[in-house]
Chain A
Amino acid sequence: MNAVPTKRNELWRYSDLQAVAAVWPLPAPEHIIVPAGGEFSRAIVQDAADNEVAIQTIDLVIGKDARAVFDILNYGGSFGRIAIRAVLHENAHFRLNTVQLGRARQTLEIVCTIIHAELGATSRQTVRTVLTDKATGTYLGKIQVMKAAQKTDASQSSKALLLSRLATVNTKPELEIHADDVKCAHGATVGELDKNALFYLQTRGLDEAEAKSLLTRAFVMSVIDDVQDSVVRDNMIAHTDMWLDKVAL
């Protein structure tokens, strides 16, 4: 097995490397192949216990005209990392809906590498990260468009909400494009709760914590509303509400 990664490795740059070392070597990645024309969906709720290190690695191949959807809630463990590498064949579609909720001294990260290998594939990534206390949240989204992958349509949207001045967010979109007829859009924002909205809610009778909780929930719901499977969606909502009850806003 190879050596424990260091800060110099881009894909591990913001990780809790002490935590990584403790569980190294990692098990082999999970391999998923979605055959041509196939449909695949996976819901991941990463809710490991507070002191656990939870690292999941997925290697995905999406065949011609096939679709794969990942709905992820990453919020457990002292270090919680979900890394996905996906290769998209002709007209394949990849969708990632992710919510990260970090508190205390947690480090949470989503590392997603999408390789558009052939003509006409599409990828959509939406990541919403909420951080409080001294938590760290990272989203590394790399998109590689190969020479043959004309008409690629790739988008990434990352928004982070900081509920504490001591929390840290890292967002890094990375594009490596070898074809000329492609659409790649990415947007990243980091913000705090809107003070005007907080005051408005308080004048209507919500205390500060209730007002913050309502606005934070709304921020996260913008992703969860997009989750197609209602069982998965309700489960993500239930976990989010548990988290909101647990953190001191």
Chain B
Amino acid sequence: MLNIHNLHVAINDTPILKGLTLAINAGEVHAIMGPNGAGKSTLSYALAGRDGYDVTEGSVTYNGHNLLAMKPHERATTGIFLGFQYPVEIPGVSNVNFLRTAMNAMRKRRGEAELSGGEFLKLVKTKSAALGMDYEMLKRPVNVGFSGGEKKRNEMVQMAMINPTLAILDETDSGLDIDALRVVAQGINALRAPDKAILLITHYQRLLDYVVPDYIHVLADGRIVKTGDKSLAHELERDGYAGIAA
């Protein structure tokens, strides 16, 4: 599904990713772990197409298409979802208006029928209830005044609504108490399917107790330095990144 080959990304001419290679197949859950500053968020932004994240070398294909040639909204429309490490506040735009506008914009571009007000409302009420997000909160401006945990839950509501094919989740677990972590994990597990894939970016192994990945990669200094199965998380927990990356 996703094929990243020898990816080099620079920010303001400073190289951050330095030859990252990773292949993700449909049905798989991959976790990327690594110390702060390793380039994890840089990878997620580069995959989502953020301005200022310059790909200087390498390639990324998504279902055979050159992902790097696509604009951010085209990447979203083709099924890629980025869960933000720091979800953005948008004063004056309600969550429901935002979500409905976004979903219908993508549906229109894919040649699908737009969701009616009623259909949308039914769906958003079901999905938000499943994720323990009060529907009343969704009438408020996007993420404004939300706690860290509420913002992450809100990312999960958006993901559940959009139902992407590839979810890239950047530290969706950070800043969550254990109850919220369980809810978020539930949301992620609900997305698991043979035709979908998930890339979990995380700093701690905690989340991986709830969402068990097929592969774990260690990212250090802009490269994947080690790949293993779920037991690698516990190794990392015990020995720290320093031993692995050395």
Contact = CB atoms under 8 A, between A and B. Distances in A.
Contact of B72 (A194, A199, A218, A219): A199
Interface in A199-227: 199-208, 210-211, 214-215, 218-219, 221-222
Contact of B71 (A195, A200, A208): A208
Contacts of A204: 76, 98-99, 102, 158, 162
Nearest to A210: B105
B245 interface: no
Contacts of B88: 194, 196-197, 199-200
B90 A205 contact: no
Contacts of A219: 92
Given A210-B105, A214-B101, A202 B72 contact: yes
Contact of A202 (B76, B90, B162): B76
A205 B103 contact: yes
Contacts of B81: 203
Contact of B102 (A196, A197, A206): A206
A205 B82 contact: no
A221 B90 CA distance: 13
Nearest to A195: B51
For chain B, the bracket of interface size reads 20 to 34
Given A199-B50, A199-B51, A200-B84, A205 B92 contact: no
A106 B109 CA distance: 34
B90 A197 contact: yes
Contacts of B191: none
Most chain-A Cβ atoms within 10 A of its Cβ — which of B71, B99, B105, B106?
B105
A198 to B, nearest CB: 9
B77 interface: yes
B51 A208 contact: no
Given A203-B82, A204-B98, A205-B76, A218 B105 contact: no
A205 B77 contact: yes
Contacts of B99: 204
Given A210-B105, A214-B98, A214-B101, A203 B90 contact: no
Interface string A20-38: 0000000000000000000
Contacts of A207: 71, 73, 105
A203 B49 CA distance: 8
A126 to B, nearest CB: 14
Interface in A160-219: 194-197, 199-208, 210-211, 214-215, 218-219
B76 A203 contact: yes
A189 to B, nearest CB: 13
Contacts of A218: 90-93
A206 B48 contact: no
Most chain-B Cβ atoms within 10 A of its Cβ — which of A204, A205, A207, A210?
A205
A117 B77 CA distance: 60
Given A218-B90, A218-B91, A218-B92, A203 B48 contact: yes
B92 A222 contact: yes
A201 B89 CA distance: 11
Given A199-B50, A214-B101, A206 B90 contact: no
25 contacts: A195-B51, A199-B50, A199-B51, A200-B84, A200-B90, A201-B98, A202-B49, A202-B72, A202-B73, A203-B75, A203-B82, A205-B76, A205-B102, A205-B106, A205-B162, A207-B105, A208-B73, A210-B73, A210-B105, A211-B73, A214-B98, A215-B93, A218-B90, A218-B91, A219-B92
Given A201-B90, A208-B73, 7 more contacts: A203-B72, A203-B84, A204-B102, A205-B106, A206-B101, A218-B90, A218-B91
